[in-house]
């Protein structure tokens, strides 16, 4: 194992983990994960489902963890002292690897008829799921809905996921569904237990498109999906920030935890402006990932403009105030150093032209950083799962974040912003 991985799991030393193993072919990899946890100094109690015990011997996990493996909700020995509640209370983190489709469904339904489900339901702490299954099971809307339920408000902010990977699956299919490498799971567990570098910070993240009404049924919108902003909000909450999440239409839900997430929906730029005025006051950072309209129809027609009655209308557009520039201007007037202001620059050209335009936005809007991305490039940008960005800072610093999932890009962005927020807070 490399030094880098040792560093990644150093936060696990002395921590109490429950390793839940569900019944899938990847269950054998739980042995390696258990070994990594123990090597990092964690105390590990393994809970296996009956199906898991058909894939990997409990004795293996007992030997690796140094403790008896719990399997039975009705074990007269341990259940005399309500073993499942004790396991749940003592765990600082429950890691389920592999989390099968069945396991995810059972947790989403709040079932408690086997030991693993009962431990999760009885616990109040974080649960890290490392899904592994056949690609069709993974992509099945039922599985995705179950997962979304766990990651959304019903999950109480306790659940997060790591993986799955794409690749060749045991069933012969190629696609998403492979258990992510045990070292990655261990590193994700360490990150969840680390004291967040944004704890105590209040951050505002705006995401998604605006809709500017033409009449009561039509609007001018844009292609923003809100995924990048949602990833930024989720990443900040995972690092302990208290997040005000200003969410445009269609923006995905964001799980809280350990920090809180307050979702404030908006539709028009004017709604967003009002929400920002409330939220930005006293915030440590405002990240404007929302794709705000630059123009809106001067007036909203009542009802539905009728082709039959009046033919094609001519729309008169008026400019929408630049909300980010407004925040920058107000900060300058107040003489205060904060909040730390981050803008996004959606450009349709990469390279030096993108840098130039993003640099101009940085100066004109008076923000501290601009995250530029080439929305014209294939596979990244609007509605894509991935992104690749260049960050320009007002102090001249610059960072390139290569193509990765939007969540990974968000994590890297907070890696860059968190020390600057800490510096601001020190005054
Ligand atoms: N923005 C804003 N208010 C607006 C328009 C944009 O606050 N009315 C913010 C966006 O949230 C983003 C940044 O400004 O953080 C840059 O948005 P972008 O659309 O790339 O730039 P524009 O200023 O609109 O410039 P242009 O249309 O010339 O590219």
What is the per-residue pLDDT across 208-255, written as a single tens digit (0 to 9) for each? 999 999 999 999 999 999 999 999 999 999 888 999 999 999 999 887
Token pair recorded at residue 286? 């405002």
Between 260 and 229, the higher pLDDT residue: 229
Instruction: Specify whether 316 is located in the same domain as 232.
Output: yes
Ligand 1 neighbours by CB, cut-off 6 Å: 269, 288, 290, 292, 294, 320, 322-324, 343-346, 361
> How far, in Å, is the centroid of ligand 1 from the Cα of 340?
17
List all residues 6 or more positions away from 121 whose beta carbon is below 8 Å from its beta carbon. 107, 110, 111, 112
Mean pLDDT of the chain: 92
Dump the DSSP string for 157-187. Answer: T-EEE--PEEEE-TTS-EEEEEPPPHHHHHH
Q: Exposed, middle or buried by CB within 10 Å (0-12, 13-18, 19+), for 307?
A: exposed
Is residue 35 within a helix (H) or strand (E), and if so which, with residue range? Answer: helix 29-39
Ligand 1 pocket test target in 205, 324, 376 with most atoms within 8 Å of CB: 324
Q: Are 390 and 400 in contact (CB under 8 A)?
A: yes
Which of 193, 216, 246 is the C-terminal boundary of a domain?
A: 193
Give pLDDT tens digits for 67-76: 999 988 877 6
Q: Give the separation between CA 247 and CA 263, rounded to whole angstroms.
A: 7
Same-domain status, 246 and 176 = no
Tell me, yes or no, whether 222 and 122 share the same domain.
Answer: no
Q: Is the pLDDT of residue 3 over 70?
A: no
The reported pLDDT for the residue numbered 85 is 84
Ligand 1 centroid to Cα of residue 373, in Å, is: 13
Are residues 331 and 298 part of one domain?
Answer: yes
Q: Are 150 and 129 in contact (CB under 8 A)?
A: yes
- The one-character DSSP state at 209 is B
Largest Cα separation within the chain, whole Å, is 81
Domain of 114 in residue numbering reads as: 2-193
Of residues 341, 298, 299, 297, the one with CA closest to residue 323: 341
DSSP labels for 43-111? EEEEEE-TTGGGTS-HHHHHHHHTSPPB--TT-HHHHTTTHHHHHHHH-SEEEEEEE-HHHHHHHHTT-
Residue after which a domain boundary falls, among 162, 193, 224: 193
Distance of CA 212 from the midpoint of ligand 1 (Å):
15
Residue 192's SS3 state is helix
Is 60 exceeded by the pLDDT of residue 354?
yes
Tell me: the pLDDT tens digits for 314-325? 999 999 999 999
Give the pLDDT band (50/70/90) at residue 376: confident
**CA pair distance 171, 168, nearest whole angstrom:** 8
| 95 and 212 belong to one structural domain | no
Distances (CA, A) of 209 to 236, 328, 378: 21, 21, 20
Q: Provide the angle, in degrees to the nearest 10, between the axes of the packed helices 141-151 and 101-108.
A: 50
Please state the atom number of ligand 1 nearest to the C-alpha of residue 342.
15
Q: What is the pLDDT of residue 22?
A: 98
Both 115 and 40 in one domain: the answer is yes
Residue whose CA is at the smallest distance from ligand 1 atom 27: 294
Residue 332: Cβ within 10 Å count:
10
Dist CA 69 CA 199 (whole Å): 35
Which of 229, 323, 340 for mutating ligand 1's site (highest number of atoms within 8 Å of CB)? 323
Query: pLDDT value at position 351?
Result: 82
Shared domain check, 277 and 136: no
Q: Give the mutation target among 344, 360, 367, 369 for probing the ligand 1 site: most ligand atoms within 8 A of CB.
A: 344
User: What atom in ligand 1 is closest to the CA of residue 326?
Assistant: 7
Q: Which strands make up the sheet holding 16-21, listed edge to edge?
A: 43-48, 16-21, 93-99, 127-131, 159-161
Q: Are residues 186 and 57 in the same domain?
A: yes
Q: Which of 111, 188, 184 is nearest to 146 (CA)?
A: 111
Mean pLDDT of 376-396: 90
Q: Is 367 a catalytic residue?
A: no
Between the CA of 47 and the centroid of ligand 1 the distance, in Å, is 50
Please determine, for residue 381, whether its predicted confidence score (pLDDT) is greater than 80: no
Domain count, the chain: 2
> Which is it for the CA torsion 321, 323, 325, 330, positive or negative?
positive
Q: How many CA atoms lie within 13 A of 80 on its CB side?
A: 3
Question: Which is the closest atom of ligand 1 to the Cα of 294?
Answer: 8
Contact 314, 231 (CB under 8 A): no
CA of 263 relative to ligand 1 center, distance in Å: 22
Place of tokens 């947790």: 107
Backbone angles phi, psi at 52, to 5 degrees: -60, -35
Q: Which of 34, 103, 171, 367 does the annotation list as catalytic?
A: 171
Task: Report yes or no on whether pTM surpasses 0.85.
Answer: no
Q: Taking phi first (over 0 means left), then psi (-120 to 50 degrees means alpha), and beta for anything else, what does residue 226 get?
A: left
Q: Which atom of ligand 1 lies at the shortest distance from residue 325's CA? A: 7
Whether 239 contacts 410, CB under 8 Å? no
Is residue 412 domain-shared with residue 299, that is, in the same domain? yes
State in Å: Cα 361 to ligand 1 middle: 8
Would you state the pLDDT for residue 96? 98
Please report, for the domain that includes residue 138, its CATH number. 3.40.50.1950
In a shared domain, residues 104 and 44:
yes
Please state which of the ranges 13-22, 112-121, 186-195 shows the lowest mean pLDDT.
186-195
Query: What was the pLDDT predicted at 82?
Result: 63
Looking at the structure, tell me whether residues 119 and 228 fall in a common domain. no
| Higher pLDDT, residue 1 or 111 | 111
**257/114: higher pLDDT:** 114
**Mean pLDDT to the nearest integer, 137-166:** 92
Query: Cα-Cα-Cα-Cα dihedral of 35, 39, 45, 48, to 10°?
Result: -10
Domain with 242 in it: what CATH number? 3.40.50.10300
Distances (CA, A) of 127 to 119, 124, 169, 400: 11, 9, 25, 32
Nearest CA to ligand 1 atom 18: 345
**Residue at a domain's end among 193, 226, 252:** 193
Residues 271 and 179 in one domain: no
What angle, rounded to 10 degrees, do the helices at 351-365 and 323-334 form? 50
Burial of 116 (0-12, 13-18, 19+ CB in 10 A): buried
Please give the pLDDT value at position 290.
98
Residue 55: its pLDDT value, please? 96
The whole-number average pLDDT for the span 292-307 is 95
Q: How far is CA 362 from the centre of its chain?
A: 26
């Amino acid at each position: 194992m490399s030094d880098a991985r040792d560093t990644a799991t150093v936060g696990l030393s002395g921590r109490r983990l429950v390793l839940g193993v569900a019944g899938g072919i990847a269950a054998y990899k739980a042995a390696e994960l258990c070994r990594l946890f123990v090597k990092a100094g964690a105390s590990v109690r393994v809970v296996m489902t009956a199906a898991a015990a058909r894939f990997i011997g409990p004795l293996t996990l007992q030997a690796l963890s140094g403790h008896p493996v719990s399997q039975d909700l009705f074990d007269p020995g341990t259940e005399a002292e309500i073993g499942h509640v004790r396991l749940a209370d003592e765990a600082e983190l429950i890691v389920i690897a592999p989390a099968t489709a069945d396991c995810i469904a059972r947790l989403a339904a709040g079932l408690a008829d086997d030991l693993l489900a009962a431990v999760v339901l009885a616990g109040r702490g974080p649960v890290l799921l490392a899904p592994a299954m056949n690609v069709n099971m993974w992509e099945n809307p039922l599985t995705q809905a179950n997962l979304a339920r766990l990651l959304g408000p019903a999950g109480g902010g306790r659940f997060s996921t790591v993986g799955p990977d794409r690749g060749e699956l045991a069933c012969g299919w190629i696609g998403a569904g492979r258990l992510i490498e045990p070292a990655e799971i261990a590193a994700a567990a360490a990150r969840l237990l680390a004291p967040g570098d944004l704890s105590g910070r209040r951050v505002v993240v705006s995401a998604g498109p605006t809709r500017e009404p033409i009449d009561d049924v039509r609007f001018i919108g844009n292609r923003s999906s809100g995924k990048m902003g949602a990833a930024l909000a989720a990443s900040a909450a995972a690092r302990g920030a208290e997040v005000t999440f200003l969410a445009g239409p269609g923006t995905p839900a964001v799980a809280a935890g350990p920090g809180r997430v307050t979702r404030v929906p908006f539709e028009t730029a004017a709604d967003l402006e009002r929400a920002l005025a409330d939220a930005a006051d006293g915030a440590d950072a405002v990240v404007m990932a929302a794709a705000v309209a630059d123009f809106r129809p001067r007036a909203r027609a009542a009802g539905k403009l009728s082709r039959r009655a009046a033919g094609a209308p001519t729309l008169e557009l008026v400019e929408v105030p630049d909300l980010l520039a407004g925040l920058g201007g107000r900060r300058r007037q107040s003489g205060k150093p904060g909040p730390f202001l981050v803008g996004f620059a959606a450009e349709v050209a990469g390279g030096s032209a993108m840098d130039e335009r993003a640099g101009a936005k940085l100066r004109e809007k008076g923000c501290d950083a601009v995250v530029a991305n080439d929305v014209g490039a294939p596979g990244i940008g609007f509605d894509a799962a991935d992104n690749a960005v260049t960050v320009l800072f007002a102090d001249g610093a610059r960072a390139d974040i290569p193509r990765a999932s939007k969540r990974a890009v968000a994590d890297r962005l907070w890696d860059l912003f968190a020390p600057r927020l800490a510096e601001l807070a020190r005054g």
